[in-house]
Chains A and B, each alone.
Chain A
């Protein structure tokens, strides 16, 4: 590790002095970017940071943008698969006593729909967006722990394959995405279906924990000089809070699924009431993760809204501090509400009332966010482009979902609507309204940065209206049919109950909503191939990701920017001040202090490596094997150890020798 000798060129009296500073580096130092001309800087940095050519090279990539693109595409494919599940279910439910699918397949369908949407689409896609954007927004060259990041992607892919291959083999979990015991336990969940659920969770939690850790370190230690805590973009704040929620919530579900595997595989009786275990313990453990999970999906989406609104309202977000504090408050409070999923289990009344109060409480920081965004928009006529349309769609739907959430927080009211279609409507309003619409807004907003091309605005508007009409047609009537007494997770219903027409209407809406995604996919492909050239900053937005080219080069920024404002590109209309002094012949990052982002040290960033992929294969195979025998952990340890040794093998750097 070399001590920091980085200096903002802006603070230096002359460029000559700056380059002189670079020259007095220790002997083993290579060339630095100080004073280097643009062409040779580009040449050096490309050679150092590019992803190696060839298939092995591609599989070895540790570039956060490459990994994020793969994540985004994979998650989108899983969204399509989960959506197809939903379409089949909606056709089955479009009338009473339809026979398209039987209960066995239907129960797998809704479980796979939930598992896919939560674990293989929503969490990965919000994290992937962060993997792409956070390093660019904080002005660094790569994410922290890039190999861990690559590993997380391969683990995620193996988890997704595991789940969907099981589905193809008709052994997909059929116990619902929260897989309550005893239904998923050894006695009532025969076969391997519940094991697939429990182990598939393990893949995704390992993957999202890895990303969370990388994100936290990137935000804390790799921010561009000058990006003190008060100048961190709101989107980055959202990802930071989300990552902490991941770190604290995921272990709870890890324990839950491990206990379940132990009950099923080893013969423990942790959840078996007949042997002194407790079936409700499972629910407490699961929802202690499960409720924060909702905010893991929702908080990054609020970050996207906070990034998009200022760009189109043409001013910095109103109440920046309030928005940051709300994010942190939501992050904390999300751990205090889990019991509102369990009001119908017969809890002591006073305890339940406490969770009514805490569930109501979280509406306050969420309200603060909504009001601050409205106040930002109030500054003038906003520029209405597709991203902002989807943000409006977010307001329209998410506020409904939030308000029905307030209804569900009330213990007595919840007892009527819990586990009915009212709840199905509520959480789709929250998750699609609160997260998917912001994600679609984000897709239109950042697509030009990722591909260098614009998506069609005209198709975008069609897409927006089709999605809005389809979504509300499909999900609003579910509130009503839930109040009419229709429970969720039923594969059919009797004609006498009079739910036929409204369900047909819902199914028609679901088909429209699915078509809107077909249109979106077309617009993505069309934009990537034929879209107008975007330029660096098509929206004239203010944050650092727009300072580099579109798509960004492998090294992100030729010179590390120096941040002077929360919207640096608006503050420095000429050219951004930059900091120099980093080596260009090896992968070197600038590490800064946590609070003030004062340049601190230069640190090496990991080079491309095939070992993360091999490690992921070893870990994935171990997880897969362990649904059959607990000894898999023992046998799997050897290949995992080999791959990890390869991964961490010393490179002969002086600091490794110390």
Chain B
């Protein structure tokens, strides 16, 4: 009981301290769509709380009333029943009015949301894969089309249009602090407009159950000032950095000779696989394996050495590598900034 109480206390304190904070919270909006939705959530919650309290009061009152036990249950007071009928009618009428109000409210909120991205200049195609996100920046100039994975850089303060689709099963793209979710359905293209008010990193994750590693299918939206975003895009368009150390050179060689090359692409090398994330600038990303591990030398090695231990069921196979070979590949990938 004591432990339970302490857990309760801890939860209450966390709730107070955290408030609604968190980088993946619908109650901590960082963009116009999420702000509109947070307002809507609080309004509905408040109204529902009032309605619930009224029903509970109506339930509690008869417990305090005088008993009529001695009376035959079929002998009813017609006057009292008429008054009750009126009360029920009024309650039903009020319910109807509230519901019509809420329907209109959500209809207009939906219109507000639809207007947010109508003038989006930047279009990004997000394709869901089991269990990572392929991110392609569309551009009229083919050489400026950019493909990366899992992390989506956007210019802060500008609406961005996301085209959502999937090549395997249904996924759902959800970054709660920026907007509501939308599914990635194979054979269909959905459009989601997002906008981040300020620079920052906003976490999201797949919201539609998509198989073994649904839990580890995270994504990040990284909003940056326009200039920084443009610079990032230009950097990403460059082919992969050539390895400098001997170890890294050996790593590149190994990468191209081993099964890695079958699935992954590294721009500027013969590696051109498209079924797994593009690794041209993998070391510039903040996380590995769709938000499962932070980017670091140790985690790169862990992920390559034991993908099924880190993310059981994932499509990354175990590749038989000696310790030196593993170190060499890690050294190479680490240089791909």
Contacts and interface: CB of A to CB of B under 8 A. Distances in A.
Nearest to B67: A381
Contacts of B96: 364
Given A371-B92, A407-B44, A501-B10, A570 B74 contact: yes
B24 A501 contact: no
Contacts of A374: 55, 58-59, 62
Contacts of A319: 85, 88
Given A349-B114, A407-B44, A412-B113, A396 B183 contact: no
B26 A416 contact: yes
A568 B73 CA distance: 12
Is the interface on chain B under 10, 10 to 19, 20 to 34, or 35 or more residues? 35 or more
Given A182-B169, A412-B36, A567-B73, A377 B62 contact: yes
Contact of B14 (A490, A502, A508, A571): A502
Interface string A79-111: 000000000000000000000001110010000
Contact of A279 (B40, B185, B203, B218): B185
A104 B211 CA distance: 9
A490 B48 CA distance: 29
Interface string B52-92: 10011011011111111101111011001100110110011
B160 interface: no
Given A403-B48, A420-B207, A381 B312 contact: no
Contacts of B81: 318
Interface string A411-423: 1111111111000
B7 A504 contact: yes
B170 A378 contact: no
A361 B36 CA distance: 24
A410 interface: yes
Main secondary structure, interface of A, reads helix
Given A374-B59, A379-B80, A410 B48 contact: no
A180 B209 CA distance: 9
Interface in A542-573: 542, 565, 567, 570-571
Contacts of A314: 68-69, 71, 73
Given A314-B73, A396-B56, A501-B11, A484 B182 contact: no
Interface string A353-371: 1001100110110011011
A265 interface: no
A349 B91 contact: no
A322 interface: yes
B18 A361 contact: no
Contacts of A410: 40, 44, 102-103, 105-106, 109
B88 A368 contact: yes
B186 interface: yes
A306 to B, nearest CB: 15
Contact of A419 (B11, B77, B179, B181): B181
Contacts of B207: 344, 418-420, 487
A255 interface: no
Contacts of B71: 314
A298 B208 CA distance: 26
A316 interface: yes
Interface stretch (A15-23, A458-466, A491-499): A491-499
A477 interface: yes
A107 B212 contact: yes
B185 A419 contact: no
A480 interface: yes
Interface in B1-26: 4, 7-8, 10-11, 14-15, 18, 20, 22-26
A563 to B, nearest CB: 14
A410 B176 CA distance: 17
A182 B183 CA distance: 13
Contacts of A567: 73-74
A322 B92 CA distance: 11
Contacts of B213: 103
B172 interface: yes
B312 A484 contact: no
A108 B27 CA distance: 32
Contact of B176 (A345, A379, A404, A416): A416
Contact of A406 (B41, B91, B99): B99
Contacts of A375: 84-85, 87-88
B249 interface: no
A488 B206 CA distance: 10
A344 B66 contact: no
B285 interface: no
B95 A364 contact: yes
A491 B215 contact: yes
A400 interface: yes
Interface in B129-175: 130, 164, 168-170, 172, 174
Contacts of A316: 73-74, 76
Contacts of B176: 416, 485
A103 B211 CA distance: 9
A231 to B, nearest CB: 13
Interface string A388-410: 00001001100110011011011
A322 B103 contact: no
A509 to B, nearest CB: 9
B187 interface: yes
Given A374-B58, A380-B66, A484 B22 contact: yes
Contacts of A360: 99-100, 102-103
Contact of A353 (B63, B88, B107): B107
A399 B52 contact: yes
B327 interface: no
B210 interface: yes
Nearest to B41: A413
Nearest to A405: B48
Nearest to B192: A346
A360 to B, nearest CB: 4
A290 to B, nearest CB: 15
Contacts of B102: 360, 406, 410
B297 interface: no
A505 interface: yes
Interface in B187-209: 187-188, 190-191, 203, 205-209
Interface in A242-286: 273-274, 278-280
Contacts of B180: 344, 412, 414-416, 418
Residue with the greatest number of chain A CB neighbours at <10 A, chosen from B110, B182, B213 = B110
A512 to B, nearest CB: 9
B120 interface: no
Which of B18, B67, B208 counts the most A-chain CB atoms under 10 A from its CB? B208
A546 B192 CA distance: 60
A150 to B, nearest CB: 37
Interface in A179-198: 180, 182-183, 187-188
A348 B41 CA distance: 22
A418 B173 CA distance: 12
Given A349-B110, A399-B56, 8 more contacts: A103-B213, A183-B169, A278-B187, A375-B88, A395-B59, A415-B181, A416-B34, A497-B203
Q: 5 closest A-B pairs (Cβ-Cβ)?
A: A273-B187, A415-B180, A410-B106, A485-B24, A346-B190
15 contacts: A279-B186, A345-B185, A353-B107, A356-B107, A360-B102, A400-B52, A419-B181, A484-B20, A484-B25, A485-B24, A498-B18, A502-B11, A505-B8, A505-B11, A565-B74
